[in-house]
Structure 1
Amino acid sequence: MTNTISDLLESAAQRAVPVVLGITDERLADPTPCSEYDVRALTDHLIQVVINFQALAAKKNADFAAVPHYIDDDAGDWRARFADETARLVAAWAAPGAEEGTSGTMGFPARTVGHMVLGDLTVHAWDLARATGQEFTPDPAVVGEIGPALAEMAPMGRKGGMFGEPFPLPDDEGVSDFDRVLALTGRDPHWRPPA
């Protein structure tokens, strides 16, 4: 039986939300495995992703051009907002027809778009956890879903600057499926913040 995007997102959210809730203000300027983002910018980006992919689930257009500033500009609690928006994301992808047809101006099959946000939520949660010294273990079912999907998207992702060049991994049994996902996106699975 195929897992629904909403079920997979719910599982991914259960692991991502505690990471964002665990980010302290003192860590916002720290580097992340995404060299172009510090913790603040990556968290802002992830909130933007979660909001925009709600619209894409509803076959509406999304705006990724604006530089997000949820942490600095939002008068409310950005951590709680992330939790709330992630719950809305799960609900949006559970709506009837969310996985059918194409999504927004992207013009991709809806399930492919669902895989994109599932990958972002999982990989960026790892980025933020690693950057802020938190533990993160993804759901194996999510990893099993995003591994082949991201491998298929990788050439387009690299061309668009969303993925780096693959990080080289040894061919041995000690490499996990999630390590392979991270390496596929250009990340070193053993990345640690600079001392």
Structure 2
Amino acid sequence: MDDTIRTLLETAAADALPVLRGVRDDQLTAPTPCADYDVQGLLDHLFQVVVNFQALADKRDSDFTAAPERLAADRNERFAVEIAELVRVWGAPGAEEGVTGAMNMPARTVGAMALGDLTVHAWDLARATGQPYEPDPALVRMLAAEFGALAPTARAMGVFGEPVPVGEDATPFDALLAETGRDPGWRPSAGA
């Protein structure tokens, strides 16, 4: 597999879309590993992220501060369309070059952030809804390197929590989750 953002996003999408489609309506109020979001809130947030990272690939400004749209019953189709567009725009000539919109960060770094959001939030949703999820190892390796460099800034911005300690036997993906401040062993409580 090549390491372009487009190829990695295609892989991440193939791993994430089955999880997104697998969320049932009766699970929308369930808690997630992201304490600020229930399942509905996390779906809405992820949709907003996908759309904003499209703008950033085009070197346009994004707006992560607006309240996310509340997704309705057509969410599966809308996610499929918008994630396909995310892959397309990150594959456009020059998408990985230069800096992005108002973030003023290297485009490749911002592309890695898009990959990270899709990958980690897919895990959040899978864990919250009892679905299996295992991202591609090549994707995890790339994100581990990128997130290691981004972590101090992400923590200062409140995007990552403090790292969670994991044992030496932790999988690379568990270590990546822990770097973002997630407990890889998180499960919904019995009453949730």
> Do both share a fold (TM > 0.5)?
yes
Q: Is 1:33 matched up with 2:33?
A: yes
State the secondary structure of the residue aligned to 1:162: coil
Q: Is 1:65 matched up with 2:65?
A: yes
State the distance in 2 between where 1:44 and 1:4 align: 27
The answer to whether the 8 Å contact 1:33/1:187 transfers is: yes
Question: What is the identity, as a one-letter code, of the residue corresponding to 1:192?
Answer: R
Question: What is the identity, as a one-letter code, of the residue corresponding to 2:110?
Answer: V
Counting matched residue pairs gives 190
Gaps of 5+ in 1: none
Q: TM-score, normalised by structure 1?
A: 0.95
Q: Is 1:53 matched up with 2:50?
A: no
State the distance in 2 between where 1:150 and 1:42 align: 21
State the distance in 1 between where 2:70 and 2:75 align: 7
Gaps of 5+ in 2: none
RMSD over aligned Cα atoms: 1.1
The answer to whether the 8 Å contact 2:60/2:100 transfers is: yes
Q: Is 1:145 matched up with 2:137?
A: no
Question: How far off its partner does 1:128 sit?
Answer: 0.2
Question: What is the identity, as a one-letter code, of the residue corresponding to 1:144?
Answer: R
Q: Is 1:177 matched up with 2:172?
A: yes
Question: How far off its partner does 1:2 sit?
Answer: 5.5
Q: Cα deviations across residues 97-133 of structure 1 (Å, max 9, x unaligned)? A: 0000001110000000001010000000000000000
State the distance in 2 between where 1:69 and 1:51 align: 11
Question: What is the identity, as a one-letter code, of the residue corresponding to 1:138?
Answer: P
Question: How far off its partner does 1:45 sit?
Answer: 0.5
